[in-house]
A = this chain, B = another copy of it.
Amino acid sequence: MSVVQLFRAAKAASSNLARANTNLKNSALEQIALELENSIPHILAANALDLTSAQENGVSVGLQDRLKLDANRIGSLAAALRLVINLPDPIGQNLEGMTLPNGLKLQQIRVPFGVVGVIYEARPNVTVDIAALALKSGNAVLLRGGSAAENTNRVLVELIQAGLRTAGLPSDAVQTVDPFGREGAVEMMQARGLIDVLIPRGSAQLIQTVVTESKVPVIETGDGVVHMFIDESADLAKAIPMIVNSKVQRPSVCNALETLLVHESISAIALPKIAAELEAKGVTIHGCEKTLKLISGVAATDADWSTEYYSLDLSVKVVADLDQALAHISKFSTRHTESIVTEDQSNAERFLQEVDAAVVMVNASTRFTDGSEFGFGAEVGISTQKLHARGPMGLRELTSSKWLVRGNGQVRD
């Protein structure tokens, strides 16, 4: 089968999926969960091949860990499928309804996109999460999962297809283009008319390539140069755990903290306490001049303010006031997540109002920007663009709408 034939098969399957009722879709998700649970040795054998290649290719220990499956992790994949079963079906929901003066009845309902394409990197759990969300929202899905996880993803997709067949849905609804290598991804970007939306999820470079080259509409997911501003009125007993959690709990992800801004008037008291906690966790501070008069660290370069470290590094800047914090964020934010720590209600509301980002927080760890945390079951990615979806994308973000007009012979004057 050519890659375009594979796209056409997905499109054909998508009409079937769009008409599938909630019970049928849930039954398919349950069958897929059973397939995973009943095929643990088979999945692990494929995963072992990918892990061996990763070791031979000198892939980092962190990436090897993201690639690795075990019986527990496969159990979590099945559990994630059952979480999606329990979410309400978005398809057919009424979005708007009105009767025009001429008697025409208008109804706007939620419908699936049709065919969703996702290009991602080396994380087998993403394969299952995305297939689950796509199927529940009535979409067919084309996956390009990256060569490092190719064996694991091939088996996972085979098991998903087996589950679909058992439930009586077309197995073409979930397909991988991995056998076509890079060409598969390039063809996906050209397939306007066959793929309704393309979602890149992975490195900044991958996302930028898709955003600039795709002829299919793209939802940009994104890099996070995430800021937290410690205001003059911040309660340090709350602030310090939030800073540590935002930076340290999982530094390799997009919602981890990268730049800490501290109000000058509390910097002499706050920074030494913050630094003591961070240093104990192994964090290296890249400080501005004022910061380095108060605590030790390396001097921040201009590039640091726009760097997403993905590591235990943190840029720290002392700012004169909320205005200066807002100006810094406006200049360096990637519009992902921004948080203020403050006990001043009016500063909190001003921050929420004026910061232009997908998620704006008051007194919360930036790590909460996440589909599972938001109650979406899983996430397709976190949109940092403003078109269609913004922030964590769950079922609702994989849908479009259509207008139904019911008349009795109306014509236009």
Chain A interface residues (CB < 8 Å from chain B): 15, 18-19, 98, 100, 104, 106, 108, 111, 113-114, 192, 196-197, 211-212, 215, 217-220, 235, 238-239, 241-242, 244-246, 249, 348, 352-354, 356-365, 367-369, 373-375, 385-388, 390-391, 400-412
Min CB distance, A396 to chain B, in Å? 9
| A215–B212 touching, CB < 8 Å | yes
**Cα(A388)–Cα(B219), bound, Å:** 10
| B403–A358 touching, CB < 8 Å | yes
Min CB distance, A198 to chain B, in Å? 10
Knowing A368-B104, A387-B219, A402-B357 touch, does A411 contact B242 (C-beta < 8 A)? Answer: yes
Give every chain B residue within 8 A of A100 (Cβ-Cβ).
373-375
| A387–B217 touching, CB < 8 Å | yes
| B405–A361 touching, CB < 8 Å | yes
Give every chain B residue within 8 A of A215 (Cβ-Cβ).
211-212
Report the nearest B residue to A239, measured CB to CB: B409
**Cα(A357)–Cα(B388), bound, Å:** 18
Min CB distance, A20 to chain B, in Å? 12
| B212–A412 touching, CB < 8 Å | no
Give every chain B residue within 8 A of A412 (Cβ-Cβ).
245, 249, 365, 367-368, 373
Give every chain B residue within 8 A of A218 (Cβ-Cβ).
217
Knowing A359-B403, A390-B402 touch, does A408 contact B238 (C-beta < 8 A)? Answer: yes
| B409–A242 touching, CB < 8 Å | yes
Min CB distance, A114 to chain B, in Å? 7
**Cα(A215)–Cα(B211), bound, Å:** 7
Number of copies: 2
- Listed by A's residue number, 21 A-B pairs whose Cβ atoms lie within 8 Å are A19-B354, A98-B375, A192-B211, A192-B212, A197-B387, A217-B386, A235-B409, A241-B411, A242-B411, A352-B406, A360-B402, A360-B404, A361-B406, A361-B407, A362-B406, A362-B407, A367-B412, A368-B405, A368-B407, A387-B400, A390-B402
Give every chain B residue within 8 A of A387 (Cβ-Cβ).
113, 196-197, 217, 219, 387-388, 400
Which 9 pairs from chain A and chain B are nearest by CB?
A238-B409, A364-B407, A245-B411, A386-B400, A388-B388, A367-B412, A361-B405, A217-B387, A359-B403
Min CB distance, A336 to chain B, in Å? 11
Give the residue of B220, B362, B365, B388 whose beta carbon is less than 8 angstroms from that of A411.
B365
Give every chain B residue within 8 A of A220 (Cβ-Cβ).
217
**Cα(A261)–Cα(B114), bound, Å:** 25
**Cα(A220)–Cα(B216), bound, Å:** 11
Report the nearest B residue to A235, measured CB to CB: B409
Give every chain B residue within 8 A of A219 (Cβ-Cβ).
387
Report the nearest B residue to A408, measured CB to CB: B363
**Cα(A362)–Cα(B409), bound, Å:** 8
Min CB distance, A220 to chain B, in Å? 8
Knowing A113-B386, A362-B405, A403-B391 touch, does A410 contact B368 (C-beta < 8 A)? Answer: yes
Min CB distance, A397 to chain B, in Å? 10
Min CB distance, A407 to chain B, in Å? 3
| A385–B217 touching, CB < 8 Å | yes
Give every chain B residue within 8 A of A15 (Cβ-Cβ).
354, 356
